[in-house]
Amino acid sequence: MATRFAVNVRPKDGILDPQGRAVEGSLGHLGIEGVSAVRVGRRVELTVEAADEPAARAVVERLASELLSNPLIEAYDVEVLGAASSLESSSAGAAPPAAESASGTPA
């Protein structure tokens, strides 16, 4: 069974986010108002082939905590995007709407 996941990684609270600050700084030039608290992180989408969803999720959690995020400075959450045939997903462009989402912070 192939499932497509997204891992959202963001700077932890209290960690300065210069990219977010840069976005906020350029809002003026664009004439945009009312935007605040911009945080820039990463989003990694991937397809996992596993026996069942819990098994797939375990793989994603491991990847997210060991590779995709640095627990010292980043927090992450995992979204299930839905079932995916691996072939289809390899050219997945726009993500299917989020089907489910769960937050997690690495231990």
Partner 1 sequence: MTLTAEPSDAAEPGLPDEPLHRRLGVTDEELAAIRDRLGGRAPNDLELAMFSVMWSEHCSYKSSRPLLRTLPTGSAADGVVAGPGENAGVIAIGDGLAIAFKIESHNHPSAVEPTQGAATGVGGILRDIFTMGARPIAVLDALRFGDPADARTRHLVEGVVRGVGGYGNCVGVPTVGGELVFDPSYAGNPLVNVMAIGLLELDDLTLASAPGAGNHVVLFGSTTGRDGIGGASVLASATFGVEDGSKRPSVQVGDPFAEKLLIEASLELIRAGLVAGLQDLGAGGITCGTSETADRAGTGMRIELAVIPRREPGMDPFEVMISESQERMVAVVEPERWNAVRAVCERWGLPVAIIGTVTDDGDLTVVDEDGAELARIPASALTSDAIVHERVAAAPLRRRAAPAPGAPATASDGLPERGMDPGAVLTALLGSANLSSRRPVFEQYDSTVQANTVVGPGHGAAIVRIKGTTKALVASTDANHAVGAIDPWLGAALSVAEATRNVAITGARPLGVTNCLNYGDPTRPEAFWQLTEGVRGLADACRALGLPVTGGNVSLYNESPTGAIAPTPEIGVVGLLDDVATRVDPAWQAPGDRVILVGETTPGLAGSAYAELAGLAAEDGPPSLDLERERRLQAFIREAAARGLLASAQDVSGGGLAVTLAECALWGDGDRGLGARLRVSVASSAAVDLFGESPSRIVVSATPRHVAALVLLARQHGLPIEDLGEVTARPDDGTQARLAVELHGSGATGSAEDRGSRIADALIVGLDELRHAWEGGLSRALGWEQR
Partner 2 sequence: MSVRIGVVVFPGSNRDIDAVNALEVAGAEPVVLWHDDASLDGVAGVLIPGGFAYGDYLRAGVIARFSPIMRAVAGFAAEGGQVLGICNGFQVLTEAHLLPGALLRNRGLRFVSREVRIAAERLDTPFTHLLGGRGALRMPVAHGEGAFYADEGTLDELEAAGQVLFRYVHSDGSTAGGEEDRANPNGSLRAIAGVLNAAGNVAGLMPHPETAVEAVLGSADGLGIIASFVASAAERERSGGPVEIGAR
Task: Please give the residue ranges that form the binding site for a second copy (CB under 8 A).
Answer: 4, 6, 8-10, 12-14, 20, 23, 26-27, 30, 32, 34-50, 56, 59, 62-63, 66-68, 75, 77, 79, 84, 86, 89-98, 101-105
Q: Which amino acid is at 107?
A: A
Q: Which of 40, 95, 98, 99 forms a contact with partner 2 (CB under 8 A)?
A: 40
- Name the β-bridge partners of 101: 79
41 vs 52: CA distance, rounded Å: 29
Report yes or no: 81 and 30 within 8 Å, Cβ to Cβ: no
Residue 54 C-beta: closest distance to a second copy, Å? 14
Secondary structure (3-state) at 18: helix
Residue 78 C-beta: closest distance to partner 2, Å? 16
Nearer to partner 2, 55 or 73 (CB): 73
Q: Are strands 74-83 and 100-104 parallel, antiparallel or unpaired?
A: antiparallel
